[in-house]
Structure 1
Amino acid sequence: MKILFAWLLALVSGLAYAQNTHTHWNGAIEAFETSDRAHPPPQHAVLFIGSSSIEHWKSVAADFPEVKVINRGFGGSELGDSTYFADRIIKPYQPRAIVLYAGDNDLYDGRTPQQVRDDFAAFVRKVRSFDRGVAIAFISIKPSVARAALLPKIEQANELVREYAATQKQVTYVDVFTPMLGADSKPQPRWFIEDGLHMNRTGYALWISKLKPWVDAHGR
């Protein structure tokens, strides 16, 4: 009985911890909802969602002028955060397609490559629960200078996600990892601002070149 009680207590504590971790972002999500009420976003657009690489992409609408886009990135977030808030910042838009960048912070915070793959699979299941046919693109985790020590885990996580995506309909792995590496297979400062983590315009230009065929094909 004591063992069962301890197990239940640990389970409840773990669930409470996970919920508290997600609800840290309530302010950002409420800001999106307030903006949506004031200026309703287009339905059936291409939704860009994920962490700071999406949040900082202020020119995303201009970069994909042939399609309607919505940016719902919130900096510092992990894969599970986008899944947790999907009912509030994905479902209402009825997106035609979803572009996701996340997993970077997950690895930095200690999650394993396998957990990143599993968390992406959970994201796919969640959004497919209210739109079974929505197309999803996963932008590979970038090889940043600031997180060069994580490069082996980043590469492994990307490969696991790529393998998973290959088993799913309308789920695409978009490789930006490989072209962002130098000839020495190391992260390159040329793509990043001074912090070595967030991208400059050159970095986004590379992403655009890799994403544009997919976005144009699925966003019309």
Structure 2
Amino acid sequence: MKCWLFALPLAALALSSCSTSAPRPGPEPINPLYTAPPATLDSEQIAALQQQLSDWPQLGRYREENAKLAPPAPGEHRVVFYGDSITDAWGRAAGTTFFPGKPYVNRGISGQTTAQMLVRFRQDVIDLRPAAVVILAGTNDIAGNTGLATPEMIEDNFRSMTALAQSAGIRVILASVLPTTDYPWHPGLQPAGKIRALNAWLKSYAASRGATYLDYYDALVNAQGGMDTQLASDGVHPTPAGYAIMAPLAQQAIDQALAAPDAGQGK
């Protein structure tokens, strides 16, 4: 998915630190294309929105690959990495590798929110019969990619995915949202604080459900609450150096999850 689908230029607002006037509201955390006057959209934007509406959760993306994927071999611990563009690019972007020799499956889709991921969870996770699933999501919800998503809405989607996985005996690994201070396709949302709050909830919720919390955030964050350019050139998507930091953390979390008591034992 191209970033222009979500990107519209927004004027920066400069406020003096000594101003006595009330601060002006920033942009709404909703994909600007959803609220733009129809007459202002070009043919490419309209076509992209039509394509999105024709298969909103993108169930077609992995349907053929799923059909060709053999069941796990006896004793094999398949792991599904499930997420948005950060997962989608892992092993597919130049210079990145995706756990060579491991029975791990990438089911990331660029631009997706937790709501879309919940709809395709049975097809792209449960039906693949993994031993564990690594869920990395939430940043696109905060960016408003599929409309307004409150913290409660995001949390509910994580709850539902966790419940579905654990009911199927799949170990759940909830990954922290990666740090960022801005979204290039929807600037001005100031997401750093929202990401910290969501990560705090994810860590607490994982503990309450007997799931494993995977902390990418602390290993990647800089003093501003984002990522340095060598780890994420656009401030959001990891570079090969960023993935190199994430990979051993993910493997450690997988080892921990697979050694834990049976999934579904959390309360």
**8 Å Cα contact 2:179/2:225 also seen in 1:** no
| In the alignment, structure 1 residue 188 sits paired with structure 2 residue 221 | no
How far is 1:117 from its partner? 2.1
Cα distance in structure 2, aligned partners of 1:94 and 1:106: 27
Alpha-carbon deviations, 1:142-172, whole Å to 9, x = none? 1125348100000001101111111112x11
| In the alignment, structure 1 residue 159 sits paired with structure 2 residue 197 | no
Relative to the length of structure 1, the TM-score reads: 0.77
Percent identity of paired positions between Structure 1 and Structure 2: 23
Quote the residue 2:41 is aligned against.
none
Quote the residue 2:78 is aligned against.
45
Quote the residue 2:120 is aligned against.
85
Q: How many residues are paired up? A: 194
Quote the residue 2:191 is aligned against.
150
| In the alignment, structure 1 residue 198 sits paired with structure 2 residue 234 | no
Instruction: Determine which of 159, 177, 194 is the counterpart of 2:217.
Output: 177
Unmatched tracts of structure 2, length 5 or more: 1-51, 184-188, 260-267
Alignment of 1:45-124 (within 5 A): 45-58=78-91, 63-65=98-100, 67-109=102-144, 110-124=148-162
Q: Residue 167 of structure 1 aligns to which amino acid in structure 2?
A: S
Instruction: Determine which of 103, 115, 127 is the counterpart of 2:165.
Output: 127
Q: Residue 209 of structure 2 aligns to which amino acid in structure 1?
A: Q
Instruction: Determine which of 189, 208, 212 is the counterpart of 2:247.
Output: 208
3-state SS, counterpart of residue 138 of structure 1: strand
Q: Residue 89 of structure 2 aligns to which amino acid in structure 1?
A: H
Change (3 A) 1:63 1:55: closer
Alpha-carbon deviations, 1:171-217, whole Å to 9, x = none? 11111112211245443222113x33211101111111211112245
Unmatched tracts of structure 1, length 5 or more: 1-19
Quote the residue 2:46 is aligned against.
none
CA RMSD of aligned residues (A): 2.7
More helix by share: 1
**8 Å Cα contact 2:166/2:172 also seen in 1:** no
Cα distance in structure 1, aligned partners of 2:91 and 2:107: 11
How far is 1:58 from its partner? 1.8
3-state SS, counterpart of residue 60 of structure 2: helix
Change (3 A) 1:59 1:71: same
Q: Residue 156 of structure 1 aligns to which amino acid in structure 2?
A: A
State the 4+ residue runs in structure 1 displaced beyond 3 angstroms.
20-23, 59-63, 145-148, 183-187, 216-220
Quote the residue 1:33 is aligned against.
63
